[in-house]
Amino acid sequence: MSGVDKGYLKKIVEATKAGTNIYVGQAMGQPMVAAGLIEINTAVTNPAAPTEVLCRATDAAEAYLAANPEAAGSDKPKYEIITNAALPPAKKRGNTSGSGAPTKYPFADLPVNGTFFSANTEHKNGDAVKALGSTVSAQNEKYSEPTGEKKTVTRAVRDKVTKKAALDAAGNKITETVQLDIKKYNRKFTIRPVKAGEKYGEWTAPADGALIGRTI
């Protein structure tokens, strides 16, 4: 079952057993749904990430995990872990959300301050940062846990079809105030664009692309 994120599936199984809500995005969830490992409820979305929907594990999920240990993954391409690169400073960008990708990347193996590189040419849209943005966000979510505390956030309401900010009759953005969980990140990943031939720490980028690093 190529593309199934065993680590996140395990988290879904644990949440299902505990009776707690857990959500999944389309890119990560589709292989699990296709394999009959999870069921989704598209009517209930994640307050913190409206593109994610409520999900629960099926009886087949636990059996699948037992038969396919998380460490296994012969179908995963190999990405070199870089230990001498420095992530460039964050830059303000436009939309950095992407369509996501299966977790064929070595997030689970990255040490703190470790990085890996993905070239723009690996992605159909020619932009590794945009293509992998949602994957990095999903990995941060995977390694997070609620603290039990809440924060109040005012945000734009998103159209469920276009995913763009909804507007009122006067053309102004519609906002909503919600209570969100404050989470503790046991691992935190970030992504930065890099340019071919430029040095980042002791590492030189071999091509235009993205450098993904673990900071926590």
Distance of CA 214 to the CA centre of its chain: 13
d(CA 82, CA 80): 6
pLDDT at 15: 92
165 in Cβ contact with 158 (< 8 Å) = yes
End-to-end CA distance of the chain: 30
d(CA 160, CA 175): 14
pLDDT tens digits, 146-177: 888 998 989 888 887 887 888 888 888 889 89
pLDDT at 168: 83
Same domain, 153 and 202: no
Task: Tell me phi and psi for residue 120, to 5 degrees.
Answer: -55, -30
Q: Please, what is the average pLDDT of the chain?
A: 84
Same domain, 80 and 67: no
Domain extent at residue 59? 1-73
Same domain, 50 and 138: no
d(CA 56, CA 24): 10
pLDDT at 73: 43
Does residue 77 have a pLDDT over 90?
no
Rounded to 10 degrees, the C-alpha dihedral 97/98/104/108 comes to 10
d(CA 52, CA 45): 6
Same domain, 22 and 63: yes
Same domain, 66 and 156: no
151 in Cβ contact with 182 (< 8 Å) = yes
Over residues 165-194, mean pLDDT: 89
Same domain, 131 and 191: yes
Q: In which residue are the tokens 């409820």 written?
A: 41
* Between 91 and 188, the higher pLDDT residue: 188
Assign 153 to helix, strand or coil.
Answer: strand
Residue 212 confidence class, pLDDT cut points 50, 70, 90: very high
pLDDT tens digits, 94-140: 433 333 444 578 888 889 999 999 999 988 889 999 999 999 999 99
Over residues 3-13, mean pLDDT: 87
Over residues 58-78, mean pLDDT: 71
Number of domain units in the chain: 3
* Between 31 and 72, the higher pLDDT residue: 31
pLDDT at 108: 87
The strand pair at 203-204 and 199-200 is best described as antiparallel
pLDDT at 177: 92
pLDDT at 95: 39
pLDDT at 71: 43
d(CA 23, CA 215): 24
Determine the residue type at 204: T
